Amino acid sequence: MKAYFGCSISGGRDNEHFYVPLVDRIKLHAEVLTEAFTNPKILELDALLDDRHIFERDDKWLHEANVVVAEASTPSLGVGYELRMAEDLNKDILVLFRNHHRKLSAMISGNPYERLTIGRYDNLDQAFSHIDDFFKSLKTPSLPLYV
């Protein structure tokens, strides 16, 4: 199982302190292709790359991932774009959103896509519970029987 973790990068790092613990929890269930997004120096590192390279890298990871988990508490055009791409690719998606002064975009909260789960949380324990429940709910492909 491979997971794409999406979070705000150039849109603001207001919730960056949640990213490492969230990714660590996801790693209990799946390989996280985008763990580098938790690096506090990601803006500096991405500044060394051209935009086309970043797009192609992230697009490759999205295609390779089985699921997408996004922390969407900080508004981000990139995360919104990734969520739409994940939907087009028919991926299971968990959007984590911290209950605070902002409202989750209606383009996400009102989306009827049946493989989209929204997990609202006030603390990391609640977020961890959403992550665990999400991975438990995934339909695992049946394994071939060998006789």
Supply the CATH classification number for the domain 2-137.
3.40.50.450
Share of the chain above pLDDT 90, in %: 67
3-state secondary structure of 27: coil
For the segment 56-101, what is each residue's pLDDT rounded down to a tens digit? 999 999 999 999 999 999 888 999 999 999 999 999 999 999 998 7
Beta strands in the chain (DSSP E): 2-6, 31-32, 67-71, 92-98, 116-121
Structural domain boundaries of the chain? 2-137
pLDDT for 136: 96
Q: How confident is the model at residue 49 (pLDDT cuts 50, 70, 90)?
A: confident
Average pLDDT value for the chain: 88
Who has greater pLDDT, 99 or 128? 128
Name which of 67, 127, 133 is nearest 96 in CA terms.
127
The Cα–Cα gap between 7 and 68 comes to: 11
Separation of alpha carbons 52 and 29, rounded Å: 31
Binning pLDDT at 50, 70 and 90, where does residue 142 land? Answer: very low
Work out the average pLDDT over 5-32. Answer: 87
Distance from C-alpha of 27 to C-alpha of 33, rounded to nearest angstrom = 10
pLDDT of res. 58: 93
